[in-house]
Amino acid sequence: MNALEEINLKGFVDEYIDPTLDLFEEIEKLKKEKNAVILAHYYQDPDIQDIADYIGDSLGLSQQAAKTDANIIVFAGVHFMAETAKILSPDKKVLLPDVKAGCSLSDSCPPHLFRKFKEKYPDHLVITYVNCTAELKALSDIVCTSSNAVQIVESLPKDQKIIFGPDRNLGAYVMKKTGRDMVLWNGACMVHEIFSQEKITKLKERHPNAKFIAHPECEDAILKMADYIGSTTGLLNYTIKDSATEFIVATETGIIHQMEKENPGKTFIPAPPNNSCACNDCPHMKRNTLEKLYLCLKNELPEVDVPREIIEKARLPIERMLDISAKLGL
Ligand code: 13P
Ligand code: SF4
């Protein structure tokens, strides 16, 4: 099997790695040799977060991808994030340790169906959450992330009609915060929809001093219980600034690694899912491993590419988001 066939089948080049190698050292060496930068999302494994040049939420990662002067971007995240980096830096090589690292939320909005949906509302502006394919971004007017969705909607005239997709939970949260009515696409993230209201209530009773913090991709019933709602960076910053010493965290578990690093002595409890067989790990994010990251940097594969015509259409809505965010100091 050649490398491309293997990538099609497995998502990565599965090569033997000498077990005596120190992968942290090897990755550092390759990074220097190739002028590569590693951008990692907070939901990645702790090892990947620790070797990354930059760790962040979707907005922070897009801002870094737009400004890096590295020749190679290794995106330790999921496919839509690597695509966003490629759209913003089309002349750079963008690598994803496992190209099958997808996203249930992005999958819940196939572009051909969204196009038909959009045709029903010709006088509406289209705002899409960054968790979607490059093709969907190309059908949008403005992209947003969980850290700027409210501000982006608020920056538009009050009577502006809006379609918001693909996340119905983030959309409903933005509607509540802004008082605007929006037409929502019915998509959701498989990780943020599993939290149990009943089990969180019981957990809060057992930890009366704990603050409950949640990502806006969670359902409204869960958000209603939260002391703070925010993007992954927002949640992390809240745990640093707030005086509480215990936090119940309703988002993917990867962020807890940074929360513990930033807050020695504070305790972080993952919010319980409704099904005891379920867990708060994103199966897509967790496809990436340190071994796959090493192999991808070594072989410069798998590479994520986006067709030129899609890049041309998808770039503007992302740049609008970055411009609005820069003006607002986000
Ligand atoms: P943020 O890091 O932007 O909060 O996004 C969370 C998420 O679900 C990414 O897939
Ligand atoms: Fe997609 Fe949810 Fe995983 Fe984020 S946590 S990559 S939104 S499935």
Task: Find the mean pLDDT for residues 277-299.
Answer: 95
Instruction: List residues near ligand 1 (CB under 6 A).
Output: 57-58, 131, 145-147, 189, 215, 217, 231-232
Q: Nearest C-alpha to atom 4 of ligand 1 is from which residue? A: 231
Whole domain around residue 161: which residue ranges?
105-189+312-328
- Residue 172 CA to ligand 2 center (angstroms) comes to 18
What residues contact residue 144 under an 8 Å CB cut-off, 6+ apart? 127, 128, 129, 130, 152, 153, 321
Assigned domain for 31 exists: yes
Assigned domain for 250 exists: yes
Same domain, 74 and 111: no
Task: Find the mean pLDDT for residues 300-317.
Answer: 98
Tell me the C-alpha to C-alpha distance, in Å, between residue 312 and each of 56, 86, 105, 108, 144.
26, 11, 24, 24, 18
Same domain, 78 and 15: yes
pLDDT band at 278 (very low <50, low <70, confident <90, very high): confident
Phi-psi region of 21 (alpha: psi -120 to 50; beta: other; left: phi over 0): beta
Same domain, 134 and 85: no
Q: Is 129 annotated as a binding residue?
A: yes
For a pLDDT cut of 70, what percent of the chain falls above it?
A: 100
Ligand 2 atom nearest 192 alpha carbon: 2
Same domain, 122 and 140: yes
Question: Which CATH number belongs to the domain containing residue 144 in this structure?
Answer: 3.40.50.10800
Assigned domain for 277 exists: no
Task: Find the mean pLDDT for residues 88-92.
Answer: 96
Same domain, 178 and 324: yes
- Residue 211 CA to ligand 2 center (angstroms) comes to 23
pLDDT score for 279: 86
How confident is the model over 123-151, as pLDDT tens digits? Answer: 999 999 999 999 999 999 999 999 999 99
- Residue 279 CA to ligand 1 center (angstroms) comes to 17
pLDDT score for 34: 98
CA 221, CA 227: separation in Å to the nearest integer?
13
How confident is the model over 204-218, as pLDDT tens digits? Answer: 999 999 999 999 999
Mean pLDDT of the chain: 97
What residues contact residue 45 under an 8 Å CB cut-off, 6+ apart? 254, 286, 288, 289, 290
Assigned domain for 251 exists: yes
Ligand 2 atom nearest 106 alpha carbon: 1
Task: Specify the number of domains making up the chain.
Answer: 3
- Residue 58 CA to ligand 1 center (angstroms) comes to 6
Task: Find the mean pLDDT for residues 256-276.
Answer: 95
Identify whether 208 is preceded by a cis peptide bond (ω within 30 of 0). no
Same domain, 180 and 239: no
pLDDT score for 277: 77
Same domain, 7 and 94: yes
Ligand 1 atom nearest 232 alpha carbon: 4
Same domain, 247 and 202: yes
Q: Is 279 annotated as a binding residue?
A: no
Assigned domain for 239 exists: yes
What residues contact residue 212 under an 8 Å CB cut-off, 6+ apart? 200, 204, 225, 226, 227, 247, 248, 250, 271
Q: Is 155 annotated as a binding residue?
A: no
Assigned domain for 82 exists: yes
Same domain, 86 and 62: yes
Same domain, 162 and 111: yes
8 Å CB contact between 193 and 218: yes
Same domain, 8 and 99: yes
- Give the closest residue to 256 by CA, choosing from 232, 289, 222, 274: 232
Assigned domain for 119 exists: yes
How confident is the model over 186-238, as pLDDT tens digits? Answer: 999 999 999 999 999 999 999 999 999 999 999 999 999 999 999 999 999 99
Q: Nearest C-alpha to atom 3 of ligand 2 is from which residue? A: 282
Assigned domain for 43 exists: yes
Same domain, 299 and 322: no
Query: Residue 98 above 80 pLDDT?
Result: yes
pLDDT band at 1 (very low <50, low <70, confident <90, very high): confident
pLDDT score for 178: 98
**Tokens encoding 91:** 């002349």
- Residue 215 CA to ligand 1 center (angstroms) comes to 8
